Each structure stands twice: as C-alpha cells, then as structure tokens.
Amino acid sequence: MAISKKRNLNEVSGKVGNTVFYELNGQFIARSTPYRHKPYTQGELANQNKYTIVNQFLKEIKDVYPIGFELVAKGTTSNAYNKAVSRNLTAVSGERGAQYFDYAKAAISEGKLPMAKDAAVSLRPEGVHFTWNPESDDTTMFKDDQVMIMLYFPGKSDRIIFLKAGAKRAEGMELLLMEKARLPKAHVYIAFISNNRKSISNSEYLGELDFGTDH
C-alpha cells in the first residue's frame, strides 16, 4: 500500500488493473487487490461471517456510529465506519453456523472522555429515565458534557431511538419522553460527548428494557 498527502497520478481514482486508488482523510492511497488461489478455510469463513453480522448492525445504526467513532478515526488512515467495525467485531460470539451478535458487548462510541459513574436506566409512565453520578474529581470531564443515548429495537423496522445531545453531565439525569405502547424490548446504550464536540466517551451498555413488563 502506498500513501501520499498530495493527490497526483493525474487525479486517478478507482481501480486500474489490480490497483485501487482512493482518498481517505486527506491522504491519497494506492492499494493492490489480492488474488486468491486456494479455497477459504472454515476459520476464514467464520471470520467473514463476523463481518457480515457487524455490518448488519452498523447498517441499522447508520445515524449513530459516524458520530460515535468520528473522533477516534481522526488523524488516522481509517474512518468512523472502519473503527466501528473493528470495535464491534468483539461483540460477535459463537462458532461458524451458530454465530450471533451479543448486544451487551456492542459499542456505539469510542473515545477518551470519561463515562459517568453509576449510570442506570428505568421505565417511568412518561418515558425512559436515565440517571448517573454527576460528581467526579476527574479533571478531563466537564459539567457541560452532554449525554448521548441509543435505544435499539431488534426486529422493529424503525430500529433505533437516538438522542445525540441530551442533558448536561452536571444534571445527573435525562428523561426520554416517548409512547411505550406496543414497543418491543430495547437494548440501551449511553455515552457522553463534550460540549465542543472534540471529545467523546466509550459507550456503556445499560441492559435490556422490556416495555411490556418493566415499570
């Protein structure tokens, strides 16, 4: 693979022969495409299936991961999608033929901003209630950091509810107003993003909400 910070080669992009030319994060990249002669092993097929499973999840949260992984990709030859794939491959469990996506291991963001302590979620008659400890001696977190929330509904055509900039960290709570009737179970994630959008935390999985039984 060759990398150049200046676009040249007569502004070539796309595939020429067995070489692919493209631009990524301001860098012009030339990469040769591999040619395979032997069949894939069972392990390689299982690994390919892991990518398929992760890609399906990211397709369903396409409005979330570009925000959650943009900052960790900045300054690298990767992008938010690549970072999201890499992180969420660890959420695929099981052997080939019985692989599944473990939502408890999934991530919607990655970064160095500290997560709030004691984050929790519960159902109230008016909606979904989030709480966290707003106090900390950590000087790398700030009172005006904002909460970021995702509710993911497997099996539902409109699969997510996403709040990308909610209550401030100092408030210690967020109430997501919503109609709960006929909603399926939801996997719940929380993270924090700085007010200037230059820093974000790793996300935390808060568990599964059952709108039919939880109160």
Say which residue, 5 or 54, is predicted with more confidence. 54
Give the pLDDT score at 135.
87
| Predicted confidence (pLDDT) per residue in 178-207, tens digit | 876 667 889 999 999 999 999 999 999 999
| Predicted confidence (pLDDT) per residue in 25-43, tens digit | 666 666 666 666 677 676 6
- Whole-angstrom Cα distance, residue 61 to residue 143? 28
Per the structure, the complete domain to which residue 23 belongs is given by 2-32
Do 27 and 113 lie in a common domain? Answer: no
* Average confidence (pLDDT) over 68-80: 95
Do 185 and 132 lie in a common domain? Answer: yes
Residue 215 covered by a domain: no
| Residue 2 pLDDT > 60 | no
Judged by DSSP in three states, 138 sits in: coil
Do 73 and 113 lie in a common domain? Answer: no
Do 126 and 98 lie in a common domain? Answer: no
Confidence (pTM): 0.80
Query: What H or E segment, with its residue span, contains residue 180?
Result: none
Round the CA-based radius of gyration of the chain to a whole number and report it: 20
Distance of CA 22 to the CA centre of its chain: 24
Query: Domain tally for the chain?
Result: 3
Reported confidence tier of residue 106, pLDDT bands at 50, 70, 90: very high
Report the 10 Å Cβ neighbour count for 155: 7
- Whole-angstrom Cα distance, residue 107 to residue 59? 14
Q: Within 13 A of 155's CA, how many CA atoms are on the CB side?
A: 6
| Predicted confidence (pLDDT) per residue in 80-97, tens digit | 999 999 999 999 998 877
| Predicted confidence (pLDDT) per residue in 129-167, tens digit | 999 999 887 888 899 999 999 999 987 767 899 999 999
Q: Domain with 129 in it: what CATH number? A: 2.60.40.10
| Predicted confidence (pLDDT) per residue in 41-60, tens digit | 766 666 788 999 999 999 99
Residue 37 covered by a domain: no
Do 182 and 117 lie in a common domain? Answer: yes
Question: Tokens representing 109?
Answer: 């963001």
